[in-house]
Structure 1
């Protein structure tokens, strides 16, 4: 190659400055940390109130999954993909099981990666955008030498974070693993919960740019399937020595994906694992705490009442958990009176609806609000239900995402008078986490996705169902008022 100074002579160079236009990344973990979904880690601050299994409950389920994590499948000669699917209907305790399993695996030194998707969490915890970087960040912390190769990948391709998941998996994880020869007989596990709550991600979801008008929108099924396929490919790669546990509802994309015989046997949370016995332990412990706190009679509640609550749970921990929250947060009576009200709540029909008692209880709690329909409209706004017309256009142009907005901002949008938020939502603490009035940054958070499932199904929600036209009228009226006031 010809030098720029070829043939030059009789000259000197003073104060030479050399500029490296592609400087090395000093600490790859710092760069990765700005790109991950920190709230999706099992021990994150965002998940500080996430459910965990009550002691001595769901033991058989946890033992079965943990045994697979440590020992693998009984027939090692079979070429089985090292992925186990844990599934069950809404409210059966999947997230609590995965949270407790993560604690056990971490305590015993086999936890490698966790990612807890949640429809009520921050954006990065609801889409695929930060999934691979979050995996890479945790792996780089666990495996000596890996972070240097991850940093090299970022330096080689600054646009790597915008590539598809297959490219990211290869560059961030598989290639670095090959370079450090991470093959090990020591077990390690990747735990992924709530993958069915992963929403459809678009290009603007992560980097702030907007390309929505120039490309077709993806569906959540497509993104969920992409994650499943990438994990399957990683599991089949000799460089990836870890086992993977995925928990989700039994939605179609998962049923079809796991229908083959290549995977480890799925674990279905059904009557085999005797959920009624675990629900009984949970209720006995929590009701005992309430009894001591309120100095109630040692005989409260009676064994007959406890049996009724267990039966009405229908194997769903969410029903039992919601009852306990109702007894401890409602302002409409003492626990004794409130429990009597719970027992009087009966479903209109339970023949075809496995959530009949849960739906009846949700209805009872919502109807305890001063204006139940208005409360449902507030809840839909909190959850990010999209309005129609010019309001949606302006919100989109402003980059406003209602389901990520602080509770303070939601209140400013929806309140007609100061104090409306407390008036509308004050009796709904058993359904939704409500920040204190002086908290300007924390969002409202529904305690469980099953509430939104209930409100979105007219057959289940009945007279509390809010049609699109009525929600749009409500939202646009408040939005117009705010615009007129110049807020």
Structure 2
């Protein structure tokens, strides 16, 4: 399939990201703003890691060029003809069906063709910026201002005129940040594409429905020159929304289950195993051709059930530099055959069985869980060095402990950018780890690890009081200051955590909002003598820094 870029080109959003101290001509005319202009203010209210090209998503999932051909032909034909047809395309499918890989590939193609306006990749995680639906439309507006330069002036002026827009309702936000700026410019020749991936990962079903309602208003009521590419799992409340009369006229859908293809999986496996053999020539010396055998390929195809999650995880495990590919593939085959002979009542899905096998290869399960637990509950991923500081690990521990986990965890190499994060890329892996019936000995209890992160934040906040600006890690500082009370709200109380909350230097450096959050949490947990002592300490500090609302005191 040949991709032919559209003729109209737009500059990339990154080209318009404000830099410190820069003067910007935001309106395209003679008006110049300095300092805190509207785009600077808007930038503080967006989900930074939601973009298709965010470093927080590196390496992003992509579709193999020889697979999903029919699906991509349908999608790309729709993008070119959206002006005269449905303005919304909904791609739905099960976990592991490749929805995010499709969204990534569509985003990259439309960015090259000049049609891409904005992307938002939702990600599962209670409290994460990437699951917060309230950040969707400010993020879209900011990205649209980068893709369509004419929007930048009107958008900047709207925010400068009323900065409270960013804390008001979604309805008002889209009116002021999207509808009114578009009314002041000449519309592009074809609709600008907005990609929203993983809508089901947004924080609630109610918010998901609200987002779809507002998108319909943008297109039907305001008639904006936009088209929306949306992916999600096939969930009943989303299907009900797309089955309403408005969305039946407004949208088209691609149910990926209809396009399940063992041939696509087989093509993917042959191509990727050939690449593994090429990369690991020394380790593969003496391994006869063909490798893998046709029987092994067919076993993996059977386990895949037409989805790409299982074979992609197998290939990541086999392609790891810490082992020999042929030996690792043999491990997978033996584990798969053994699992097939297990009692039906004890059987797990092939992907769950594979997760168990990968996790079981760790020589130090306790150390492994000490890192995996925080990775699951962090509100945004952190680089290895910052994660080590937060968890009081020695330098290099993250890479060392996760060296056999590359099939499940993205771990930056030593030569990678210092901004690159450690992350669990597949939502299904996080769901596995949070489900005790599936993960069993590898179960992660969220409250326990939220508490560990709070303790790490308290330690770091105490340390940075003695650091100079040159010694301070600004990103970790911002994370600890902004997120520690959010982690506390979800933490399971422990004697160690309560003891850390008695650190006087830490207590007396907290601002009223943080103090009230701590008091609220302390009042919500089972009361004990130690809890009461900690509560009285924080209440006493609050009386000194400002009169608290009556509700924060125990009668």
Q: TM-score normalised to the size of structure 2?
A: 0.67
Instruction: Between the two structures, name the one with larger relative contact order (CA 8 Å, sep ≥ 6).
Output: 1
Contact 1:124 1:130 in 2 (8 A): yes
1:51 corresponds to which of 50, 55, 61: 61
Per the alignment, residue 105 of structure 1 pairs with: 110
Alignment of 1:464-479 (within 5 A): 464-466=442-444, 476=494
CA distance in 1, matches of 2:349, 2:388: 32
CA distance in 1, matches of 2:348, 2:79: 32
Which stretch of structure 1 is more off in the superposition, 38-47 or 346-355?
A: 346-355
Contact 2:362 2:368 in 1 (8 A): yes
- What does the per-residue CA deviation read over 1:22-75, in whole Å, with 9 as the maximum and x for residues that have no partner? x9855644444444334322233333410111112112111112212222498x
Per the alignment, residue 344 of structure 1 pairs with: 334
- Post-superposition offset of 1:411: 3.1
RMSD (CA atoms): 3.6
- Post-superposition offset of 1:140: 2.4
Q: Secondary structure at the match of 1:267?
A: strand
Q: Secondary structure at the match of 1:50?
A: coil
Per the alignment, residue 71 of structure 2 pairs with: 61
Contact 2:61 2:101 in 1 (8 A): yes
Contact 1:141 1:147 in 2 (8 A): yes
Which stretch of structure 1 is more off in the superposition, 141-150 or 162-171?
A: 141-150
Alignment of 1:210-249 (within 5 A): 220-249=204-233
Q: Secondary structure at the match of 1:233?
A: helix
Per the alignment, residue 162 of structure 2 pairs with: 157
Alignment of 1:87-486 (within 5 A): 87-119=92-124, 123-182=128-187, 186-199=190-203, 220-263=204-247, 264-270=251-257, 272-295=258-281, 296=284, 297-329=288-320, 331=322, 333-346=323-336, 347=339, 356-372=349-365, 375-384=368-377, 403-412=380-389, 414=391, 421=398, 424-435=401-412, 442-466=420-444, 476=494
Per the alignment, residue 391 of structure 1 pairs with: none
- What does the per-residue CA deviation read over 1:300-329, in whole Å, with 9 as the maximum and x for residues that have no partner? 111221111111111221211111111122
CA distance in 2, matches of 1:482, 1:418: 24
Contact 2:125 2:379 in 1 (8 A): no
CA distance in 1, matches of 2:46, 2:70: 33
Tell me: CA distance 1:105–1:412, structure 2 relative to 1, closer, same or farther (3 Å).
Answer: closer
Tell me: CA distance 1:423–1:189, structure 2 relative to 1, closer, same or farther (3 Å).
Answer: closer
Greater fraction helix = 2
CA distance in 1, matches of 2:171, 2:161: 17
Aligned length: 421
Tell me: CA distance 1:417–1:309, structure 2 relative to 1, closer, same or farther (3 Å).
Answer: same
- Post-superposition offset of 1:404: 4.4
Contact 1:98 1:193 in 2 (8 A): yes
CA distance in 1, matches of 2:449, 2:215: 40
Tell me: CA distance 1:358–1:42, structure 2 relative to 1, closer, same or farther (3 Å).
Answer: same
Tell me: CA distance 1:261–1:473, structure 2 relative to 1, closer, same or farther (3 Å).
Answer: closer
- What does the per-residue CA deviation read over 1:188-207, in whole Å, with 9 as the maximum and x for residues that have no partner? 321111222233xxxxxxxx
Contact 1:123 1:404 in 2 (8 A): no
Gaps of 5+ in 2: 1-30, 454-493, 507-555
Contact 1:52 1:100 in 2 (8 A): yes
Q: Secondary structure at the match of 2:163?
A: coil
- Post-superposition offset of 1:259: 2.4
Which stretch of structure 1 is more off in the superposition, 34-43 or 471-480?
A: 471-480
Which stretch of structure 1 is more off in the superposition, 28-37 or 467-476?
A: 467-476
Q: Secondary structure at the match of 1:243?
A: strand
Alignment of 1:18-37 (within 5 A): 25=33, 28-37=38-47
- Post-superposition offset of 1:136: 1.6
Tell me: CA distance 1:280–1:231, structure 2 relative to 1, closer, same or farther (3 Å).
Answer: same
CA distance in 2, matches of 1:334, 1:370: 17
Tell me: CA distance 1:472–1:104, structure 2 relative to 1, closer, same or farther (3 Å).
Answer: closer
Contact 2:128 2:379 in 1 (8 A): no
Q: TM-score normalised to the size of structure 1?
A: 0.75
Which stretch of structure 1 is more off in the superposition, 348-357 or 172-181?
A: 348-357
1:83 corresponds to which of 73, 83, 88: 88
- What does the per-residue CA deviation read over 1:409-444, in whole Å, with 9 as the maximum and x for residues that have no partner? 443454577776456433212211224579876542
Gaps of 5+ in 1: 1-22, 200-219, 385-400
